[in-house]
Amino acid sequence: MLLRRLNVYDPIEQSYRSCDVRINSNKIEAVSNQLNEKESEPWVDLAGYFAYPGLIDAHVHLVGLGKSLIEPNIGEIQSLEELECLLQQQHSEIIVLRGFSLEHASFALDKKTLDAMIPDRPVLIVGKCGHVGFVNSQAISFFGLDKFSTMDGSNLSSGLIRERVLDHVRGFIVYTYSQLQSFLKKGSQHFKSFGITSVHTDDWTASTCNNLLPALDEQKDLRIYEHINLSPPFSINPFVQEEKYKQLYRNTSFLNISSFKFILDGSFEGRSAFLKEPYFDQVDEYGVLYYSEKELSNILCMAEKINWTCNFHVIGDGALKTILNALNLSIKESNPLRHRLIHLQMASNEQVRLIQQLGLYISMQPLFYPADKEMAEKRLGKTRLESTGYPFENILQHGIHLSLSTDAPVEQVNPFYNMSVAECFMDRKKAFYGYTVAGATAAFQENKQGRIMPGFFADMFFLKEDLFSLSRDKLAETRPDLLLFNGEWEDINHHFDNRKEEGK
């Protein structure tokens, strides 16, 4: 198929080129001026359109997003009466809902309230951040939570559970193959409607591990870079045995599995991100640290032996200090496996310099800044937030590998809104690079994705206006006019048949 008279943008050159693009199967065959038609070759005249490489969201929860689009979201509930009505409409043996905000909800939750609403079935309400939850008495009994009474700051008398206690509960909630297929399909469609053709995700958990791999192997809706999430209750030891990691390994056009994910701490909202100094609004609280420096060093040494990448969820500066010490002791010079830190919502100047020296990769979420700033200031205090919080500019000034992401469904999928927020810290072309080349490079895919080049996958989106000339407000509301994925037109807002059209 020949695409004629395009304005093709290159994130490395940071400029447009007027040219034709030839697609052969699922790859780009040629990008050049005035390509000659081959016999019987279908072509489309796209004069006036601007073409961009398919976007890559470098950290999401694909299954969680699909689930949130299919099932009710408690974040939309405005009162306890609405919540009770929603809970009573659920017919499953275990009721699980997500999206409650500790900061912004118009009502409070506790065990007594949930007991009054649903006295005869286990109920779990998971916070928006995914690191705290509330349970009723039936859930405490059913999941055997009495032995975790105060673990990680949980308080069973009020029904509050945090971090590893919440992880324990999630292990009881197992999704079927059919459910996972539906979640993957729904989430993939939503991503593509925004021009996102690839995601880095960590859906392999205690809830999905029995049925996820067959569902991933079958899907061809998105290019997925899956991180095996070995946070509790899992240990890395069995997974570095040759039989196990070879069983998990994938490297196809639609699925890559060659990396692990570890959660080091929690969230600001739940006061479980691990800080070097106590929380400003709760002076006896430092947060939760999942692993010691020694444990992390052992994890890294084992991963390095089998050449698998490690991705670490790290939000607080105390957790960052611990993982940087471990990385400094345990990884090869220049970080050839591209180990990565995800979130990094706090970092001192000294920590940023060490990140640079170690050659680490970073994935951050600009849209966290407006969503969390007010709450983060309460948690950290204004001085600490201003000196260490959301260190985008410091990261960029040090030339550190930075890819952009949304953490969906924690925040919205829209990459254009995310880029508009990123302009608080960087120019638009740098943000676009973070959504293309940087995301591809973090997954060792820089020769296959992130640019419109011969030999690259034929994934691209098209706009009728220049993305870099839009006002910031208009950028935030942008949607692709056309989308090509794997060499085929996708039906997002319009549909193009692969046919020769009348015209020049």
Q: What is the DSSP string of 372-436?
A: HHHHHHHHH-HHHHHHHBS-HHHHHHTT-EEEE---TTSS---HHHHHHHHTTTS-HHHHHHHTT
Domains of the chain in start order, with CATH, are 2-54+452-489 (2.30.40.10), 63-170 (3.10.310.70), 264-413 (3.20.20.140)
- Contacts for 151-156: CB closer than 8 Å, 24+ residues apart: 152/266, 152/272, 152/288, 153/271, 153/272, 153/285, 153/288, 156/111
Task: Give the pLDDT score at 103.
Answer: 86
Q: Helices 62-70 and 177-192 meet at what angle, rounded to 10?
A: 90
Name the residue among 289, 231, 265, 266 with its Cα closest to residue 126. Answer: 266
Task: Give the pLDDT score at 493.
Answer: 62
DSSP strand E in 165-268: where? 196-204, 223-229, 250-251, 255-263
**Interacting residues of 374 by C-beta distance below 8 A, sequence separation 6+:** 103
Cα dihedral angle (148, 153, 158, 163), rounded to 10 degrees?
A: -70
Alpha-carbon Rg for the chain in angstroms? 23
Q: Helices 349-358 and 317-330 meet at what angle, rounded to 10?
A: 30
Name the residue among 363, 354, 290, 294 with its Cα closest to residue 330. Answer: 294
Task: List 279's β-bridge partners, or say none.
Answer: 282
d(CA 81, CA 156): 23
pLDDT in tens, 113-166: 999 999 999 999 999 999 999 999 999 999 999 999 899 999 999 999 999 999
Name the residue among 320, 279, 340, 324 with its Cα closest to residue 58. Answer: 340
Integer CA distances (angstroms), 383 to 273, 353, 365, in order: 18, 21, 22
User: For the chain, which residues score pLDDT lower than 50?
Assistant: 494-504
d(CA 352, CA 362): 11
**Interacting residues of 258 by C-beta distance below 8 A, sequence separation 6+:** 249, 250, 251, 307, 308, 309
